[in-house]
Amino acid sequence: MKRLISMVLVTLLLSASASSALGAQPYGDVGDIVDLQGVSADQAETELANRGYKRVINGVPVSYWWNESTKTCAEILMTGGSVTDIESATLSSCGR
* Structural domain of 84: 26-94
> Does residue 6 lie within any of the structural domains?
no
Query: 45-93, pLDDT tens digit by residue?
Result: 999 999 999 999 999 999 999 999 999 999 999 999 999 999 999 999 9
C-alpha to C-alpha distance for 91 and 71, rounded to whole angstroms: 9
Whether the Cβ atoms of residue 48 and residue 36 lie closer than 8 Å to each other: yes
> Does residue 84 lie within any of the structural domains?
yes
C-alpha to C-alpha distance for 77 and 1, rounded to whole angstroms: 55
Query: Which pLDDT band holds residue 12 (cuts at 50, 70, 90)?
Result: very low
Q: How many domains does the chain have?
A: 1
> Does residue 13 lie within any of the structural domains?
no
> Does residue 38 lie within any of the structural domains?
yes
> Does residue 85 lie within any of the structural domains?
yes
For residue 60, how many other CB atoms are within 10 A of its CB? Answer: 7
Residue 84: C-alpha distances to residues 6, 27, 38 (Å): 50, 20, 6
> Does residue 54 lie within any of the structural domains?
yes
> Does residue 35 lie within any of the structural domains?
yes
- Supply the pLDDT for residue 3: 52
SS3 of residue 54 by DSSP: strand
